């Protein structure tokens, strides 16, 4: 079934973004881009989320937070790293407290580059993530079936 694709609720977490990428993520929700027309809602609650959007790189303090939040999202779920900081640490990469990109702690499905990432590319990334979400759902069903038999 394709309902997952039609109603992705996303959780936005600001790891250690400079606020540049955050504001672009929020710009997607404004009337100009209006992602709600794809059924996307910004939930703020990991238990309701399907898509985990992270801006900014991972530092030593929020490492556990990101991991914990990720684990609270029910399966199937996808992770989208928005901005070059989230992809690899970006300009903050060499800082003493940085662990690097989001993939240092949790598996990332889609990387959206840019500094700051443009709303168009963020939407693009999320749409790409929806395809992966669907694949994960199929895989989940497959394992469920195998365990059932």
Partner 1 sequence: MTSIITAIVFLILAPLLGGLIAGIDRKVTARMQGRVGPPVLQPFYDVAKLFEKEDVTVTPSQNLYILAYLVFMAVSGAYFFAGGDFLLVIFAFTLAHIFIVLGAYAAYSPYSYIGAERELITLMAYEPMVILTAVGLYMVTGSFYISDIATSTVPAILYLPGVFLGFLTILTIKLRKSPFDISTSHHAHQELVKGLTTEFAGPVLGKIEIAHWYETVVLLGMIYLFFGFNPVLAVVVIALAYLLEIFIDNTFSRMKWQWTMKSGWGVAAILGFLNLVIVYYYYVGV
> Which residues of the shown chain bind partner 1 in the complex (CB under 8 A)?
1, 3-4, 6-7, 9, 31, 34, 36-39, 41-45, 47-48, 50, 72, 74-76, 137, 140
Q: Is 18 in the site for ligand SF4 (CB under 6 A)?
A: yes
In the complex, residue closest to ligand SF4 by CB: 20
Distance CA 130, CA 136 (A): 10
Distance CA 99, CA 62 (A): 10
Q: Is 102 in the site for ligand SF4 (CB under 6 A)?
A: no
Tokens 């404004």 belong to which residue? 30
Residue closer to ligand SF4 (CB basis): 83 or 119: 83
Q: Is 119 in the site for ligand SF4 (CB under 6 A)?
A: no
């Amino acid at each position: 079934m394709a309902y997952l694709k039609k109603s992705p609720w996303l959780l936005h977490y600001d790891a250690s973004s400079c606020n540049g990428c955050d504001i672009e993520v929020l710009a997607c929700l404004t009337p100009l881009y209006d992602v709600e027309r794809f059924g996307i809602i910004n939930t703020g609650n990991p238990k309701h989320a399907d898509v985990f959007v992270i801006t900014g790189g991972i530092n030593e303090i929020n490492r556990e937070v990101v991991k914990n939040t990720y684990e609270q999202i029910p399966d199937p779920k996808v992770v989208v790293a928005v901005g070059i900081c989230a992809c690899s640490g970006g300009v903050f990469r060499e800082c003493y407290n940085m662990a690097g990109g989001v993939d240092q702690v949790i598996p990332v499905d889609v990387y959206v580059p840019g500094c700051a990432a443009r709303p168009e590319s963020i939407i693009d990334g999320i749409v790409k993530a929806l395809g992966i979400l669907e694949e994960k759902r199929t895989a989940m069903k497959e394992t469920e079936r195998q365990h059932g038999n």
